[in-house]
Structure 1
Amino acid sequence: MRDRQASREARRAREFEAFVAGAAGRLLHAATLLTAEAPDDNPRARRLLTPALAHTYARWDRLHGEDPYDCARQYLATRFAREAWHHYGGFAQSRPHPRSPLAELAPRERLILVLRMYEGVAEEQTAALLGLPVERVHSICDRAAATVLHPTRTPVPGAAGAKAVPS
């Protein structure tokens, strides 16, 4: 009996290790996009990823054909939304890193854009996960994509009053 249980636990650990080896990098990248941190300096993203993986491991035996990546991604997204709500008074603007490609977006816009465009989650699933109407998810995603594709330009300091030097 103990041998079977030990064997089952060892198999579970190997399966989870294989899952993490294949999925952790992509999940960390998604978390880094959500937190709008620099890819090489992302402590908030790592703090989001760790409990998502722990939650997935805790549910591993109860997944019954459910995609473990989807489980981890859902936990990551809902935890990010909850933390953004508590830390910033709703989905207010946090302080993103200027090197982040999503630095100009508010947390809700980042969340929806990452789920829809980076993760490929359908509008209906994103809306259900966030408790929003599908139309709202669509409009937020469109606005966020437009902002990323056409960022606001900040003037270069000193360029406004600079005069051309004759040659």
Structure 2
Amino acid sequence: MRGETGYDAEFREFMVGRWGDLVRFAYGLTGDRGHAEDLAQTALAKAYASWGRVRRTDDPDAYVRRILINANHRRFRKQRVPEHSGAAPVEPAVADGTELFDQREALVAALMELPPKQRAVVVLRYWDGLTETQAAAILGCSVGNVKSQASRALAKLRGSAQLTDGSMAR
């Protein structure tokens, strides 16, 4: 872009490359596409404001995810009862995937029943496919804490009324 500095170009490249993943991650935390996009935008705006520091970290992506998680916690504290607008999921169901869509909606509803930290662990580990070590780095906690939070969350998901047959939580 005309007049764009190297700093701006570097951030733009990061932002364009990570936008979809950040929105999917935020959707896993919120269950709402609109909130997910707002959180991703907020996280990227905060990252841009301190991009000089963010880009020097070992893992800028983890840093931005942490910003996103913190922004979601602030939103959650302000709004104790999470809204679920029923908006379409980030990734649409495949051809005639009514059952897949129903399962995804049930899973998102069950995730919304989890406490925020357990939800973040589940989304990082099983939605985004990160290792326990990567999730711990993003969340700023120990690997043992990630393991225990994941174990508790999966136990709650297995018993969730949203996942009636239990097949989704295995």
Say whether 1:10 aligns with 2:5: yes
The aligned amino acid for 2:82 is: S
The aligned residue for residue 58 of structure 1 is 49
Q: Is 1:102 matched up with 2:108?
A: yes
Measure, in 1, the Cα distance between the counterparts of 2:125 and 2:152.
Answer: 13
Deviation at 1:149, TM superposition (A): 6.2
- Matched residue, 1:115: 124
**What is the identity, as a one-letter code, of the residue corresponding to 1:139?**
S
C-alpha displacement at 1:95, in angstroms?
Answer: 4.2
- Give the TM-score normalised by structure 1: 0.66
Alignment of 1:10-89 (within 5 A): 10-37=5-32, 42-63=33-54, 65-66=56-57, 67-88=59-80
| Residue 115 (structure 1) shift | 2.8
Distance 1:102 1:25, change over 3 A: same
Which amino acid in 2 is paired with 1:17? Answer: R
Which residue number corresponds to residue 140 of structure 2?
Answer: 128
Question: How do residues 128-167 of structure 1 correspond to structure 2 at under 5 angstroms?
Answer: 128=140, 137-148=146-157, 152-153=163-164
Name the CA distance, whole Å, in 2 between partners of 1:114 and 1:31.
9
Percent of paired sites with the same residue: 27
Please report how far the alpha carbon of residue 60 of structure 1 lies from its aligned counterpart in structure 2 after TM superposition. Answer: 1.1
Question: What secondary structure does 2:110 align onto?
Answer: coil
Pick closer, same or farther for the CA change 1:23–1:64 going to 2, 3 Å: closer
Any stretches of 5+ residues in structure 1 without a counterpart? 1-5, 155-167
Q: TM-score, normalised by structure 2?
A: 0.65
Distance, in Å, in 1 between the alignment partners of 2:22 and 2:36 is 9
Instruction: Let me know the Cα RMSD of the aligned residues.
Output: 3.0
- The SS at the match of 1:102 is helix
Q: 1:141 to 1:126 in 2, by over 3 A?
A: farther
Distance 1:14 1:94 in 2: 36
> Higher relative contact order by CA 8 Å / sep ≥ 6: 1 or 2?
2
**In structure 2, C-alpha distance between the alignment counterparts of 1:141 and 1:43, rounded to whole Å:** 26
